Structure 1
Amino acid sequence: MDADEHDPTGLDLASEIARAAVEAAEYGVQLPEPKPVRPVRRTPRVFDEQRSGAHPDERDPQLVGDVLDQIVRDRGWKKRINLSTVLRRWPDLVGEANAEHSRPVHYEKGLLVVECDTTAWAQAMRYAASQLVARLNDSLGEATVLRVDFRGPQAPSWKKGPRSVQGRGPRDTYG
């Protein structure tokens, strides 16, 4: 068969192979056994980098707000941020009149310290302390604020400064 005459179906080649096999069988010629086809062993592929699958996971792009929320939770800043947010709304929590005469000054381990203008305001606000604790825990999360301590104004200290004296000092000023 010439190179110009090509059978795309391959029937000519198949008939030639069949004829050769029949002739070999008639004359007792043994055709060589075909070599067994060895399956190709593939080594498992090891990826140095991890790749994302079909389902969302932490390696996929995330929204900035979700990432910041996760950082706040991981670092334990959630109570502090919630507390600062709520304390900025102090007038809404205690009322305008009470907010004019009091301000939160410190928070630690469930204790909120509130400083009042006078001892009378501190005493009046102590009566509403349980309601305030309930409102704060609604806003901040359960058991964030365990107790509120209302304090009146602090008397000046005469223990330090240019006019301080050693020992007990004069007793006629605030006694």
Structure 2
Amino acid sequence: MTDASQSWTPPMTDPHDPVAAQWEKLRGLSGPAKKTGDDLSASPVPLRQPFNPRRRGAKPKRMKTRYDGRMDRSYRDPGRFGDLVQREVRRNGWNRNFAVGTIRGNWAGIVGEDVARHTRVVMYKEKERQLHIECDSTAWATNLRLMQTFILQTIAKKIGGDVVAELRIYGPRPPNWRKGRYHVKGRGPRDTYG
């Protein structure tokens, strides 16, 4: 029983046990471990190659083109965000509102940094196509009135000629003592300062 050619097998308790029989079969397939950690090669595992359909014999896909030879942009392809916004603006009729928002947001780019520091766009009247501008001082209001044609030309060049037809330029407004929505005419200003 101590023969070196025979391998040791644990005694089975039941010869008809299917689980034990499968374990014995697996033990016989695995065999003894022949390699140790010292004799393993230090070569790195080769990296997996990226999928290349041509390597497997697949035909390359051709890009769909229109009759004139231009590439056909499928409706499923994602478009540029700016194109999407422009299409929605045109479809909903927001062109003028979008242009006025551009003027308000880019006021420093239209009139320059120095002028923009002392002026601000207050409102836009759509029916009259008037842009109302308020200045820090009357001197800046006078200066802006002299530059009015230049500003209108710049707006027409950058935004469009049909957006603003007239500039209304105001100096600083005096403080308003009215509070709330409704107002009853009083007796006029009084000497309440001492």
Residue 160 of structure 2 corresponds to 141
Q: CA deviation at 1:64?
A: 4.7
Unaligned runs of 5+ in 2: 1-65
TM-score scaled to structure 2, two decimals?
0.50
Q: 1:61 aligns with which of 65, 69, 76?
A: 76
Pairing 1:75–2:89 present: no
What is the CA distance between 1:103 and its match in structure 2? Answer: 0.9
Alignment of 1:126 onto 2:145: yes
State the distance in 2 between where 1:121 and 1:60 align: 52
User: Which of the pair is proportionally richer in helix?
Assistant: 1
**Could you tell me how far 1:87 is from its partner in structure 2?**
2.8
The SS at the match of 1:114 is strand
TM-score by length of 1: 0.55
Q: Is 1:111 paired with 2:130?
A: yes
**Would you say the 8 A contact 2:137–2:172 is kept in 1?**
yes
Q: Percent identity?
A: 35
Contact 2:99 2:163 in 1 (8 A): no
Which consecutive segments of 4 or more residues in structure 1 shift more than 3 A? 54-57, 59-62, 64-67, 158-161
DSSP-derived class of the 1:115 partner: strand
Which of structures 1 and 2 has the bigger CA Rg? 1
Mapping 1:146-157, distance limit 5 Å: 146-157=165-176
Unpaired segments ≥5 residues, structure 1 = 1-53
Choose from 79, 98, 102 the match for 2:119. 102
Deviations 1:5-35 (A, max 9, x none): xxxxxxxxxxxxxxxxxxxxxxxxxxxxxxx
Q: Which has the higher contact order (CA 8 A, sep 6+)?
A: 1
The count of corresponding residues between Structure 1 and Structure 2 is 118
- Secondary structure of the 1:82 match is helix
SS, match of residue 104 in structure 1: strand
Q: Could you give the per-residue CA deviations for residues 113-165 of structure 1, whole angstroms, max 9, x where no partner exists?
A: 1110112211110111111011101111122110111111111223448xx99
